[in-house]
Amino acid sequence: MAFTLYSLLQAALLIVNAIAVLHEERFLRHVGWGSDQGIGGFGEEPGIKAQLTNLIRSVRTVMRAAISARHFQSILPSRTDSV
C-alpha cells in the first residue's frame, strides 16, 4: 500500500483543518461542545468530552495562521502536478 510520508502529512493537514473549521457559535454550542459549557470544577479530573472540547479550541487557536500557509504550500504544487 503506497502510504507515503507525504500522504500522511497531507492527511494530517486535512484533519487539522477539519477540526479548525468547527465553528464555535454556529455549531458546537448546539451540540453541547462549546468551550464555556460546563467544563467542570477543578477538583474533578476532566472527562473525555471536556478534553475534546479543549483540544478543539486549542487547535483552532493555534493553527489558524499555520494552516493557511500550509494550504498554499500544498495546493500550488499539486495543481502544477496535474498539468
Partner 1 sequence: MELERHRERGGGGGAGAAGPDPTPPKTPSGLTSPLPAAPKRRVPAAAPRMADPHPLFDDTSAAGGGGGGGGGAQPGRGYGGPPPVSSPYPPPASFLREPVSSLAVVYGSSLASQGRDIVDRNLDRFIPVGRLKYYFAVDTVYVGRKLGLLVFPFVHQDWQVRYQQDAPVAPRFDVNAPDLYIPVMAFITYILIAGLALGTQNRFSPDSLGLQASSALAWLIVEVLAVLLSLYLVTVNTDLTTIDLIAFAGYKYVGMIIGLVFGLLFGRTGYYVVLSWCCLSIFVFMIRTLRLKLLSEAAAEGVLVRGAKNQLRMYLTMAIAAAQPLFMYWLTYHLLRAGAGTGTGRVRGVAVLGAGGGGGIRGGPRVPPTQLGGGGPRAQGVLEQWGAKAPGCWSWAGG
Residues that bind partner 1 (CB under 8 A): 1-5, 7-8, 45-46, 48, 51-52, 55
- Shortest Å distance, C-beta 7 to partner 1: 7
- Of the pair 66, 72, the CB lying nearest partner 1 is at 66
Nearest residue (CB) to partner 1, 12 versus 21 = 12
Q: Which is nearer to partner 1, 31 or 48 (CB)?
A: 48
For 25-60, give one letter per residue: b (16+ CB within 10 A) or e. eeebeeeebbeeeebeeeeeeeeeebeebeebbebb
Single out the residue of 19, 2, 4, 12 nearest to residue 70, CA to CA: 12
